Structure 1
Amino acid sequence: MKKLTPKAAYRKLAAIYDKMVAQYGQAADAIGLTCEGCTDNCCLTFFQHHTYIEWAYLWEGLNELPADQLEAIKAKAQQYVEEAQSALNRGERPHTMCPLNIDEKQGICGLYKHRLMICRMHGVPNLLVKPNGQQVQFPGCYRCQEQTEEYEKDGKVAPVVNRTALYKDLVMLEMQFVGKNLRQLPKVDHTIAEMIVLGPPRIK
């Protein structure tokens, strides 16, 4: 399989992200889901991400920021890592604001264009079919579940985004981006904060 250059890989990743946004929008529009006035903030949710291509794309965006803004994000990322580890050591699920968030009340991402897959898909009901046929389902955020319950009162069935094809595309892109060393590299299992603290991924 031919290895892609970073720029070519990023273009393909952006195209996958566009498909996610479109499918998310269709599902959200159908049930009337919006983030406006939400009392929660999904940027507080503990997410771990699993691909080198998304990690590298995140740093593509970070490197476009002014130096002082990047340093401030790095400092918040370090604090996040420490707080999250303390929560995990206590047997608790971390509930700490993502270091990329620039407005806690509004949940505004400071790197919105480069936000990762899970950040884009969180909210609406979605499912993933694993290679062994097992289905993993997510009912959506708390507000989505409330909207879905209301939507289905009239006998309608709320839409569910099947992210299987999107994940397959992402896995294929990961293989093209990393190349033959993929199996020898450590498994990616990091929060955004960890990806920032660790710096850009080393894939050679």
Structure 2
Amino acid sequence: MKKLTPKAAFRKVAAIYKRMAEGYSQAAEAMGLTCEGCTDNCCYSFFQHHTYIEWAYLWEGLNQLPEDRRNEFIRRSEEYVQQAQAALQRGEKPHIMCPLNMEDGKCGLYDHRLMICRMHGVPNFMTRPDGRSVTFPGCWRCQEITEGLEAGGGQAPMVNRTPLYRDLAELEMAFVGKNLRSLPKVDHTIAEMIVIGPPRLK
């Protein structure tokens, strides 16, 4: 597989993200799911991310910010990592606001947010390479709506993540190239990706 330039890879990941957004919107609208008035915030969720292409695309967004805003996100990320490590050492799952969350509650890198951030709210499923299907119920508000639909004889729409994951995996291979198998596996929070800096692909 021919290795892609960062510019070409970023265009492709943006296109995959657009498909995710469309799938999310269709499912959310069909079941009447909105974030308005929610008493929780998904940005407190302890998400870990697993691709170099998304890590690099996150930094593509950071590098487009004014220096003072980028430095503020780096500072917040350092605090997040320290707090998360302390929670994990206590045997607790971290429940800390994402460092990219703005004062108005919106994401400071909305167009560059990662896959899990985009797909978390609605019910979705994925068929793994071994043929097993894994389902995700969506956020707590989504699960409440789903229970109501099922009680009335209905069924919540499900987003099929399989083609999205497949295309992202293929893009990952094309972006990283032959070094992918020898590089460490990515298993980082957004804060860790920011504190570490842009990914090294060699």
Same fold (TM over 0.5): yes
- 1:14 equivalent in structure 2: 14
Q: 2-side partners of 1:140 and 1:175: how far apart? A: 28
- 2:99 equivalent in structure 1: 99
Q: 2-side partners of 1:107 and 1:91: how far apart? A: 28
Matched, 1:141 2:157: no
Superposed CA deviations along residues 138-164 of structure 1, whole A, max 9, x for unmatched, are 111110011112223331111111101
- 2:126 equivalent in structure 1: 128
Q: Which amino acid aligns with 2:121?
A: G
Equivalent residue in structure 2 for 1:200, among 181, 198, 201: 198
Structure 1 residue 135: Cα displacement: 1.8
Q: 2-side partners of 1:176 and 1:151: how far apart? A: 42
Identity over aligned pairs, percent: 70
TM-score (norm 1): 0.97
- 1:89 equivalent in structure 2: 89
Unmatched segments (≥5 aa) in structure 2: none
- 2:167 equivalent in structure 1: 169
Q: 1-side partners of 2:82 and 2:135: how far apart? A: 30
Matched, 1:37 2:43: no
C-alpha RMSD over aligned residues: 0.9
Count of aligned positions: 202
Q: 1-side partners of 2:112 and 2:59: how far apart? A: 9
Q: Indicate if the aligned counterparts of 1:42 and 1:107 stay in contact, CA closer than 8 A.
A: no
3-state SS of the aligned residue for 1:127?
A: strand
3-state SS of the aligned residue for 1:137?
A: strand
Q: 2-side partners of 1:128 and 1:84: how far apart? A: 28
Superposed CA deviations along residues 74-98 of structure 1, whole A, max 9, x for unmatched, are 0100000010011111111000000
Structure 1 residue 127: Cα displacement: 1.1
Structure 1 residue 177: Cα displacement: 0.2
TM-score (norm 2): 0.98
Q: Which amino acid aligns with 2:87?
A: A
